[in-house]
A and B are shown apart, each in its own frame.
Chain A
Amino acid sequence: MSGKSRRDFLKKTAIIGAGVTGLSASPAKAAPKNILSADRMGVLVDTTVCVGCRNCEWACKDAHDLPAGELFSYEDRKPMEFRRRPDHTALTVVNEYSRGKNSNLPVDVKVQCMHCDQPACVSACIVGAFSKQENGAVIWDTDMCIGCRYCLAACPFQIPAFEYDKALDPLIMKCDFCFDRTKNGKLPACVAICPVEALTYGPRSELIKVARNRIKRNPDRYVDHILGEHEVGGTSWLYLSSKEFKELEFPDLGNNPAPGVSESIQHGIFAYFVPPVSLYALLGGIMWIAKRRKELKEEEHV
């Protein structure tokens, strides 16, 4: 059964592929949308301001039609005792860390898609479902997605999630920067609800200035680092912190864009089609030798 459907899929792809190459006038149309606008928006997350009320978790689910429950139920501090990751039921989560011995207050860190400037998911998606939009959002087209989950593996922040529990039509899920809301002039749901405005929405270039200024004015409050300014080539979401980011379990990723790594491997393998051609040449060679041997044996017997 599965073999048949796979064959169907391959057939379909081959036909579409042939069609596209045959009919499409502009080959650029097949490449995913990957815009890096100078006016792209971002969010500055000030973890020194966040109080960990988890209202953003509720607002996010509410805006994305996920089962959200009542807002007051998010006052429960129990989930903060565990480390959580965004998944298909919650596209953003807030984790709590100790601020240190001398403080009663914890450090609360909201986790969601960082909306990379050079998104690895966009580069990894084999059907071009992912795209980086002009306003900075990295979104994907559910109808195009074939569920290969390459985006899960490619993401340096391990953000995209998959509805593994669904047998039929499982979807890829992640924060979409509330693309449907911002498109209509609204704020992202989490930004709108945050009581302390720990999340500041604005043009990314402006947010970097704001963040620098906060560090300059309060050098004791912040570590001198804006996470996301340069990490993996820059991200739309930026973080300020009172502690070193590795203590808040941010992955140490360096400043090279993540697609650079995966793309160079992929492109290296497939450059000028040399490896497949040589592979087939090798196989062909083995086959020819085997055939020749058989012929020789038959000749001996005769």
Chain B
Amino acid sequence: MKINLVSLLLITALTAGVNAQQSPGKDHAKLSISCKTCHTCDVPKKDEPCLVQCPREKIVTIYQKPEQTPELIIMDQILDRYGPVYFSHKLHAQMSVMSGGCENCHHHNTSGPILQCNSCHELSRKREDVSLPDLKGAYHRQCMDCHREWSHKTGCNSCHELKKDFKDTKQDDIHKKYLGKDHPVILEPSHISYETNSDKGKLVTFYHDDHTKKFGLACAGCHKQETCAKCHDVNKKFNGKVKSANINRTFEEQHKNCISCHKDDKCSSCHSETKLEPFDHTINARWALGKYHERLSCAKCHGSKLPYKKIDNACLSCHKDWNKENFKHSVTGLILDETHLELGCEDCHSNNNYALKPNCSGCHDNYVYPKQKPGKLVNK
């Protein structure tokens, strides 16, 4: 706990030291963004930077992993009716991975240090320049849109405690409440069926599990701008059986997430009149994985780049170092007996095609694999 507190103080001290007037970094001129986004004059100088007031452009270059960010930020600059607000920064950063990322809140940050909100947003509501919201407005705008979207409430007490009810002795409890917590595991649907108006097949069954657990796709790959309510809505019933596809979207918008990988696929690989089965390597790739390959990640054989590269079913396309001398038949789950150990590969595997059943008829009459085996089966 002590360490946490110390690190928290350190972070607060560091961020407090960061000043809005600091340069946005040495190399910011090299960014692929027009100078006019931030500067009003043609030749900005160090003492006359002629800056535009807070450009709302995506030029944040300090991306931090949520785990590296401060856990708790205490907002106590505006204390009128209410006491300070304890903001679980890390937790929110974890959620923001799927909805807009850091710049969702740090919207005006240039390529320099992380700016504090009050570098642009003034503390006083009665002010000369009213083009930007004041600090109170800016804070609440960040929080309220999400919080009321899923809670359908606008009450103050979900974040605030009245000043008169606030006691300093509670500090320890507060730290206990916010420090060392991660976002709970996100509930994912195993599959969702979408009812579409396509004439290629009304039903699209999307196996979410296949994509995340089997294929190992990152959540943020598809979920870039999710609203909080997608997971959090208090009114939501996650029965997830059959959903109507949003028919207001264009064909391109509708297929945007899928097409990046499935661009060579036929309509019928997703669209059908009946519910489709989940991905099965034996059926869809026409090659049974077997016990050994089942344990591997897709990327191990197909490369980490999406969409996964098609590979042929010859063992040697992956096991490049296998040859007649070092190959142990036992890895296939069958130890050859002494007689068969002597034979060449092609004697049983005609044309070196190992995907097909071995052929016994070269030596034996009426022998058929796997009824008759050239050795002993083992557990791999």
Residues of chain A touching chain B, judged by Cβ–Cβ distance below 8 Å, are 49, 51-54, 71-72, 75, 77, 102, 104-105, 185, 187, 191-192, 194-198, 200-202, 206-207, 210, 213, 217
Contact = CB atoms under 8 A, between A and B. Distances in A.
B126 interface: yes
A152 to B, nearest CB: 32
B82 to A, nearest CB: 10
Interface in B180-239: 227, 229, 233
Interface stretch (B20-28, B110-118, B146-154, B324-332): B146-154
A207 B148 contact: no
Contact of B140 (A102, A192, A196): A196
A52 B147 CA distance: 13
Contacts of B246: 102
Nearest to A186: B126
Nearest to B152: A77
Interface in B238-275: 246, 248
B50 interface: no
Interface residues of B, number: 29
B177 interface: no
Interface in B60-89: 81
B137 interface: yes
Given A72-B156, A195-B136, A217-B56, A187 B125 contact: yes
B157 interface: yes
Most chain A Cβ neighbours within 10 Å, of B81, B136, B154, B227? B154
A289 B201 CA distance: 93
A207 B125 contact: no
A207 B130 CA distance: 8
A49 B141 contact: yes
14 contacts: A52-B154, A53-B155, A75-B154, A75-B155, A105-B148, A187-B125, A192-B125, A195-B136, A195-B140, A196-B137, A196-B140, A197-B134, A197-B140, A207-B130
Contact of B149 (A53, A105, A196): A105
Given A197-B136, A197-B141, 18 more contacts: A49-B133, A53-B155, A71-B81, A72-B155, A72-B156, A75-B154, A75-B155, A102-B248, A194-B137, A195-B136, A195-B140, A196-B141, A197-B140, A201-B126, A207-B130, A210-B130, A210-B131, A213-B131
